[in-house]
Structure 1
Amino acid sequence: MTTAIHIGRFKMTWLLGGVFPFTADFMPAVASAQGQHNFAAAGLPIEGPSFEPFHAFAIEWDNHLWLLDAGPGLEEGPDRGEVLNELRTLGHEPEDVDAIVITHLHKDHTGGLLTAEGKALYPNATLYVGETEMAFWTNPDQVPAGNQRDHEVALLMQAHYQGRIEVLADDAVIRPGIRFVPLPGHSPGHNGVMLEDGDARLLMWSDLMHSAAQQFNNPEWSVVVDLDPERAIETRLALLERLAEEDTLVAGSHTQGVGKVRRHASAYKLVPAEGGVFEHSE
C-alpha cells in the first residue's frame, strides 16, 4: 500500500526503501530501564527491536515530479533498494523525475541515485544539495574514518550527475513552496525540507529522529551515526519545542506516519494528521 498526503497543490507520496532493526546497538541509551519502558509502551519487546523505515518521498504538482532523497539503493543491502519499485507503482520511471532534493549525503539517502553499476539512475534530474553538506562530504580531509563509503558515494554522485547538481545556501528557497530548513548535527549540513502552499505546511525533517518510540519520549538521546551528537540534540530539542506551538505537519525519513508535534508529560508526542488528507492505494 502506498500513502500520500496533500499539502495544498503538492502531493507527497511515501516511497519505502526497506526497514532496519532499531536496538541499543544504534542508540546505546535504549539499553536503559527508560529505553525498555519506551519500547514496552509502544507494544514492543523491552529490548526491541523496532523496525524503522528507509523513506524517500515523491512530490507531484502540475506536471512536475520531484523526489526528496533517493533512498539507500543497494548501499544498505539488497532488501533495502525498493524506492525505484515504489516509484514504478505510481506509474513513473526514472526518466520522469525532474529534480531530487538531497537532505544530506549519508549513503542511505544517496545510494538510490546510482544504478548497480554506480552510474546515474535518474537521467533527467537536477540535484539540489546544501553547500555545507556538499563541501564536507566531497573533501577527504574532513570525512571521518567510519564514513568513507558515504564519501565515495558522494563522489560518484558528483561525477555521474556532473552539470546537473545545484549547490545552494543551506536555507535556500529551492523554488516557491519548497525550501531547505537547516537541522545540523546529524551531519554538518543536514537539512529538512519544508513544503508550503497557503496555510498548508509540512516539514520532512529527514534524520532528526530515528525512532519515534524512543526519541519523542527522550529527545535528548542520539544515535551513534550522529556526527555531532550534542548539536543534534540541541537541534532536535529546539525544533520540537517550536513545532509544539505550530500547526506544521511533520514526517521523517526513519519514522512512521505524519502528524503534528505536541507536548506530552515532560517530552513530546506525534498527534496523527486528521482524516481527509490522505490517499491510500494498493
Structure 2
Amino acid sequence: MNTLRVGEITIHWLRGGLTHFDGGAMFGVVPKALWSKKYEPNEKNQIRCVCDPMYFEYQGKHYLIDAGIGMGRLTEKQKRNFGVAEESFVLEDLAQLGVKPEDIDVVLMTHLHFDHIVGLTDTTGKSIFKNATIYTTETEWAEMKRPNIRSKATYWPENWHGVAHQIKTYNQFLTLNDAIMLEKTGGHSNGHAVIRINSGGESAIHMADIFPTHAHQNVLWITAYDDYPMDSIFAKERLRDEINGTGKWLLFYHDYFYRALRFDEDAQIVNEVKVER
C-alpha cells in the first residue's frame, strides 16, 4: 500500500479498481503518435487506469477522497466496455489499517462520475460508509440528480439514492479545517473540484480528472470525457503555477504508474511516488 506524508497527514492509496479506458477518449484530440509515447496502450488501444481512493486521518477524523468502482456493482457489459480487470479492495485495505467502513467520517468527492462514486454503495444500493458526511459541489449534486442527455451515461440513479441523506454541498470553496480545502474548477464536469491538503508547511493538491495521469501535463491535453474542455484548460493553466517549482505534491487517482509527483520550475519531475499494487 503506497503512502505519502504531507506534514502531519499520511495519505494511503487504496485499491479501488483497475480499468482499461480507451486511449483516444483519455487524450481527446491529441494524436496517438504523441500520447502513446507517454502512456503506452494495449492492442485494443486502451490504457491502464486505476481508480484508487485516498485515505487519511486528521484531528481524530477518518477521511476518504473518492470511492473507487466498488465490488459487484458493474454489469458484465460495463466491465467489458471499461476493461475492468480488478474490482475494489477498498474495504480490505481499510481493514489492514484498522479502519471499519462505519469509522469513515468524511468523504471528499472530486465529482460524481461512476468511476468515482460507485464504491459508496453496495449491491443493494445501501450506503457503505453510513456515518460519513459526503461533500460535493452544488453544481455536481444538481446534475447528478437531473443529468442531461450527455451526462446521464455516467450519473446513475442507483449511485446516489442510497447516500442522498449524507450529502452536503458547497458553492465554490469549502474549507473544512486548517489542512483541507476544496475548490470547484468545473471542466471535466460542470461541478468538478480539486482538493488541497496543507499541513506542517507541506502541501499537496489533487487535481482529479482535469489532470488524470502524469501524461496529461500539457495544459492542452485533456480527455474527451471533459464536458467543458476550455474550463479544464484554464483551470490546469492556473493551478500549474501552484505546483511547478513550489515543492507541492500532485496527487493521482487514475495514474497506473505514479501516486504523486513534484515538479521543478521547468515542469521536470524532481520527486515521485510510484504505484505499488
TM-score (norm 2): 0.83
**Distance apart, 1:240 and its partner CA:** 1.8
Partner residue in 1 for 2:172: 170
**Distance apart, 1:89 and its partner CA:** 2.3
Distance 1:36 1:155 in 2: 36
1:112-191 aligned within 5 A: 112-140=119-147, 143-157=148-162, 160-162=163-165, 164-191=166-193
1:70 matches 2:75:
no
Q: Give the aligned CA root-mean-square deviation in angstroms.
A: 2.8
1:210-244 CA distances to partner (integer Å, 9 max, x unpaired)? 3323x12x331221211111221222222224421
1:78-93 aligned within 5 A: 79-93=86-100
Distance 2:233 2:92 in 1: 34
Asked if 2 retains the 8 angstrom alpha-carbon contact of 1:36 and 1:47, the reply is no
Distance 2:272 2:214 in 1: 15
**Equivalent position to 2:116, from 101, 109, 118:** 109
1:26 matches 2:33:
no
Distance 2:176 2:158 in 1: 23
1:53 matches 2:50:
yes
Q: Secondary structure at the match of 1:17?
A: coil
Number of positions where the alignment pairs a residue of Structure 1 with one of Structure 2: 264
Distance 2:43 2:122 in 1: 39
Q: Which amino acid aligns with 1:135?
A: A
**Distance apart, 1:7 and its partner CA:** 1.6
Distance 1:241 1:208 in 2: 15
Asked if 2 retains the 8 angstrom alpha-carbon contact of 1:208 and 1:252, the reply is no
**Distance apart, 1:45 and its partner CA:** 7.0
1:98 matches 2:105:
yes
TM-score (norm 1): 0.82
1:230-280 CA distances to partner (integer Å, 9 max, x unpaired)? 22122222222442142211102112221223354xxx3443259xxx9x9
Distance 2:44 2:28 in 1: 11
**Equivalent position to 1:259, from 239, 258, 261:** 261
Partner residue in 1 for 2:15: 16
Change (3 A) 1:194 1:234: same
**Distance apart, 1:57 and its partner CA:** 0.7
Distance 1:133 1:51 in 2: 26
Partner residue in 2 for 1:235: 235
Q: Which amino acid aligns with 1:92?
A: V
Residue range with higher mean Cα deviation, 239-248 or 102-111: 239-248
- Structure 2: tracts of 5 or more residues without a match: none
1:194 matches 2:191:
no
